[in-house]
Amino acid sequence: MTDHVAWDALNDYADGVLDETTRSAIEVHLAACRECRGRLEEMEVLVREVSRLPREFAPPVEAWASIREEVERRKVVSMPGAAGRRPAHRNWSQRPWLLAAAALVLMVSSSAVTALYIRRGELPPAVASNPPSLAMPVALLDVERGYVTSVKELAAALDAARPNLAPGTIQIVERNLAVIDAAIAESREALLRDPGNRVLQDVLAGSYRQKLDLLRRAAQLAAS
């Protein structure tokens, strides 16, 4: 047999993310192709081995601690996962008000730090203009919850290292953060009017990523 299942499709099959028609076609092929069955088995063995690694296993990646924290915070309600894998747990999406409250607390608590490079004594524009409320769209919360804690942590790291930065550098960081926060505020306002707009969600997420990147670079510069 020469027309084997493509690598990407076999990956998606292993992850259970294919539609039924494609999945059925691959299963027909697998039944007749030992080579593809072997490749699939290798993929599944790899994931099984990784799933047995200790939960505290955490590769050193930027903002990884924040992602783990976010993941752990949502592990309250058990939900069925894929066969043989750890179940995923979360309840934030079912209780958006809880997330809104946490987001407000996190961003307000970080304001003393972020004020150093935004405008002293004021909340970041993204918070000041649109404080999280019970009526906040879930889509907006979904975008922001992956970033709020990371921003807070990086801002704290930068604050701690601030004495090492030249005044000119701090001014540049402040100016850039102000621009990014203005973009965040604008996207948030637009999302509040049109919560289902995926483009706006992507734009907002992109602005948060820019902010994280800037904070990370500044903190690294201060620490070097």
Partner 1 sequence: MDLETAIARLPAGARRVFVLYAVEGYRHEEIARVMGVAEGTVRAQMHRARKLLMEVLDR
For position 1 contacting partner 1 by CB under 8 A, the verdict is no
Minimum separation from the CB atom of position 47 to partner 1 (A): 5
Phi/psi for 130 (5° steps) reads -140, 75
> Which position has the token pair 């953060």?
177
The site that binds partner 1 (CB under 8 A) totals a number of residues, namely: 42
Q: Spell out, one character per residue from 31 to 70, where the chain touches partner 1: x when CB under 8 A holds, - when not.
A: -----------xx--xx-xxx-x-x-xxxxxx-x--x--x
Report angle CA 43, 49, 54 to the nearest 5 degrees.
145
Query: Contact with partner 1 (CB under 8 A): which of 1, 2, 3, 8?
Result: 8
For position 83 contacting partner 1 by CB under 8 A, the verdict is no
Query: Contact with partner 1 (CB under 8 A): which of 65, 115, 130, 142?
Result: 142
For position 220 contacting partner 1 by CB under 8 A, the verdict is no
Minimum separation from the CB atom of position 6 to partner 1 (A): 10
Long-range CB contacts for residues 215-220, cutoff 8 Å, separation at least 24: 215/151, 215/154, 215/155, 215/157, 215/158, 215/177, 216/62, 216/63, 216/154, 218/117, 218/158, 218/165, 218/169, 218/173, 219/154, 219/157, 219/158, 219/161
Q: Spell out, one character per residue from 98 to 137, where the chain touches partner 1: x when CB under 8 A holds, - when not.
A: ----------------------------------------
Gap between the Cα atoms of 45 and 98, Å rounded: 38
Query: Contact with partner 1 (CB under 8 A): which of 7, 28, 35, 160?
Result: 7
User: How does 103-140 read in b/e, with b if 16+ C-beta sit within 10 Å?
Assistant: bbebbeebbebbbbbbbeeebbbbbeebebeeebbebb
Q: Of 145 and 152, which has the nearer Cβ to partner 1?
A: 145
Minimum separation from the CB atom of position 112 to partner 1 (A): 26
Q: With CA atoms as reference, report the closest residue to 13 among 208, 1, 33.
A: 33
Applying CB under 8 A, the residues found at the interface with partner 1 are 7-8, 11-12, 15, 17, 42-43, 46-47, 49-51, 53, 55, 57-62, 64, 67, 70-71, 81-82, 85-88, 90, 142-143, 145-147, 201-202, 205, 208-209
